[in-house]
Amino acid sequence: MNTHKNARLTYLRRLEMVQDITQRRHTAEQAGATHGVSAVTARKWLARYLAGGAPALLDKSSRPARSPRTIS
């Protein structure tokens, strides 16, 4: 897995954080503090996990799909 330099958590750490919330009954605030991210970020990763399972936690490119102002 190629985690970009600005990623706060790797895939395994995101999965661990989500499992803290879903299985260990931690709040988003507790899980976020434990893993060094905000509660908002913890809830964002939880929502992605609930919508798409563990694969939804994998890294995705931050490159825009299209750039309308680029010269062709």
pLDDT digits (tens, 9 = 90+) for 5-47: 666 788 999 999 999 999 999 999 999 999 999 999 999 999 9
Residue 10 lies in a domain: no
Residue 44 lies in a domain: yes
Q: Domain of 46?
A: 19-57
Residue 39 lies in a domain: yes
pTM of the model: 0.77
CB contact at 8 A, 24 and 18: no
CB contact at 8 A, 43 and 65: no
Please count the structural domains in the chain.
1
CB contact at 8 A, 9 and 37: yes
Residue 29 lies in a domain: yes
Can you tell me the distance from the alpha carbon of 62 to that of 36, in angstroms, rounded to the nearest whole number? 21
Residue 53 lies in a domain: yes
